[in-house]
Copies of this chain bind each other. A is one copy, B any other.
Amino acid sequence: MQNNNASADRIREKKKLFLAREQRIIDAAVELFLEESIDRITVSKIALRAAIGKGTVYKHFLTKNEILIRIILDYERNITQSLTKGIKRAEEGDSGAAAKSYFEARLENPKLDRLIQQLEDRLLESGDVADQVEKLHKLRRSNENALSGLITKLIDRGVLEDVPAYFHYLACWALAQGAVELCFNKTWNDRTDTEQLMEFITNIGVTMGNRGQYHPDDPKSKKDK
């Protein structure tokens, strides 16, 4: 009995170590990706940074791409959490809270957010890890569902423009995506007041799609304002 306990403990202990090491790999990879050009990060370098053998990496991840998708998923889960909180606050009355939370989460560490986008580009093009990618899409769609209800209510209450709910959500996503890109585009990123600019954009994100701004097929819409 005691033996069983002891061995069970040992197994649990090992599992914990194993998971910790897995996290070390992920962390090492993210660190390196943030430091240097993505193309120049090799599995060797990741192993070195994680202070384990190259072969060991392959005990945790079947391919290099599995590391990438894992990084992306971790990040997306983080975004989801923030968004969930925002939705909750929005349902409690603060109509812009969801969008705000979303923007803040994505702009909190724009460099990382951009990295994720780039990893995603590489990954989707490569074609493998299709099942993992599907997971990512499911996660995002679940966010969408959570939002849809909220947005529909806001449309009903006349706060938001009456277009399909996901128009609002995706416009928001697009602006956030672009804002992040903006932060790191070499053409623009020598501005000194990035912070205020991001605030400006966040505000646009929060108010865009509000009623009174979009009047399809109505040539007089502009006069209405």
Contact = CB atoms under 8 A, between A and B. Distances in A.
Interface in A117-173: 117-118, 121-122, 124-127, 133, 136-137, 140-141, 161, 163-164, 166-167, 170-171, 173
A141 B213 contact: no
A39 B140 contact: no
Interface stretch (A2-10, A80-88, A195-203): A195-203
Contact of A186 (B137, B171, B187): B137
Copies in the complex: 4
A173 B187 CA distance: 12
Secondary structure of the A contact surface, majority rule: helix
A109 interface: no
Nearest to A164: B193
Given A39-B125, A208-B204, A213-B207, A173 B166 contact: no
A177 B181 contact: yes
A171 B118 contact: no
